[in-house]
Structure 1
Amino acid sequence: MIYNDDRPERIRGTIYISILLLFVAYQCINVFVPNADLILATRTLAAGFYATVLYVYGADAWKALTAPNPKRTDFLIVGIWISFASHMMQSLYSILYRLSPSQWLLNSEIVSPIVLLGVVAAILHVSAPGAVDGTVPRRNRVALGVGVGAATVIVALLLITRPDIAPLLERTRPWIGDWWSSSIKGIRQTAHS
């Protein structure tokens, strides 16, 4: 039998295999496909996985959400569902933006509520101390306060200073740009010289 319920699950093994398979597939396709198309493909693939999580957790999240006396684990279940709903909507938005030549979509009013949905999920995860085995996650109001405080200060600084990061981003282009396209162009230029 291929699927054996008695087989122990290994988190690290699942992560390693997933990363290896995704990395190999990505690099094999990346050689031939422009980054814009590959990003669209990865966003679409991610949206498919996010939709799967939403489906699998949907009934449990609804039960937890409507429970008159929710357990601490219910906070995590609803948080997981809301988090992946936010990821799904961000992916769909990204797909629409990439398929549309409309620049106005970049600053659409819908973006912030979609992102803030993920904040609601984070709040649910942090506000359920002891939800797993009575210890995980640990109650740490200080960390929550520091995190919210730091984020607030950074938001204020960014809005007040509006730093021009274009020169910095230009310097990172060789490392985060289109690796295969630049490598292939370099090889072609060398061959033609």
Structure 2
Amino acid sequence: MIYNDPRPEHIRGTIYFSALILFVGYQCLNAFVPNADLILATRTLAVGFYTAVLYIYGPDAWRALTAPKPKRSDFLIVGIWVSFASHDAQSLYSILYRLAPSQWLLNSEVVSPIVLLAVIGAILHISAPGAVDGTVPRRNRMALGFGVGIATIMVAVLLVTRPDIGPLLERTRPWIGDWWSTGALIGNPASGHG
């Protein structure tokens, strides 16, 4: 079983090391590669990792789905698989959109089911309290009800009001736009300085 591996793992060390490698690699590339290309590269990298998760968890997820009496931990395993299937599909879709941008693709009918797949994964995670060692995840019906209630209210408010957040987002451009001003580097044909 995935959760009973006897090897000691250091979660924080894995997070720190991964974050350091990814941050340094990203910043080294970010100084020279335009944001559009770097976003495409990170989405492609993500697809590779997400697909690896699907492959590794696939047999356990299938066993859990076909078990006559699934254990609580099986809900988590299937939830992981379904969530990463959604992330994988969203990243693949983002890659397609970046390679062939068009309004109909942005508003395609397949986007919502792909996103809702992640909601199913979340439901599976929430519906298995005490699945690991009898304590993880914790049972908290109030948090579940609060989360679902807030989400429902937000959906209704956004669909009814359709707020124009363009001016607000425009104010964030200096902070989240292009930190390295990659498109303005001398020698870059797109900058006009070349």
* Global fold match (TM > 0.5): yes
State whether structure 2 residue 69 is matched by structure 1 residue 79.
no
Q: Which residue of 1 aligns with 2:116?
A: 116
Structure 2: how far apart are the matches of 1:47 and 1:88?
5
Structure 2: how far apart are the matches of 1:9 and 1:182?
39
Q: CA deviation at 1:165?
A: 0.3
Q: Which residue of 2 aligns with 1:88?
A: 88
Q: Secondary structure at the match of 2:118?
A: helix
Q: For 1:1-193, list aligned pairs within 5 A.
A: 8-181=8-181
Deviations 1:7-50, CA, capped at 9 Å, x for gaps: 63200000000000000000000111000000000000000000
Deviates more, 1:69-78 or 1:173-182: 173-182
Structure 2: how far apart are the matches of 1:161 and 1:102?
25
Distance 1:88 1:183, change over 3 A: closer
Q: CA deviation at 1:6?
A: 8.1
Letter paired with 2:20: L
Give the TM-score of the pair, scaled to structure 1: 0.91
Structure 2: how far apart are the matches of 1:11 and 1:148?
30
Letter paired with 1:169: L
Stretches of 4+ aligned residues off by more than 6 angstroms: none
Structure 1: how far apart are the matches of 2:128 and 2:7?
30
Letter paired with 1:144: L
Structure 1: how far apart are the matches of 2:37 and 2:61?
34
- Please tell me whether the aligned partners of residues 90 and 115 of structure 2 are also in contact (alpha carbons under 8 angstroms): yes
Structure 2: how far apart are the matches of 1:66 and 1:160?
42
Letter paired with 1:176: I
Letter paired with 2:21: L
Structure 2: how far apart are the matches of 1:182 and 1:50?
28
Letter paired with 1:26: Y
Q: CA deviation at 1:122?
A: 0.3
Query: Can you give the 5+ residue segments of structure 1 that lack an aligned partner in the other structure?
Result: 186-191
- Please tell me whether the aligned partners of residues 33 and 182 of structure 2 are also in contact (alpha carbons under 8 angstroms): no
Give the TM-score of the pair, scaled to structure 2: 0.90
- Please tell me whether the aligned partners of residues 30 and 182 of structure 2 are also in contact (alpha carbons under 8 angstroms): no
* Identity, % of aligned positions: 80
**Would you say how many aligned residue pairs link Structure 1 and Structure 2?**
183
Distance 1:40 1:167, change over 3 A: same
Structure 2: how far apart are the matches of 1:183 and 1:107?
28
Q: CA deviation at 1:103?
A: 2.0
Structure 1: how far apart are the matches of 2:101 and 2:151?
32
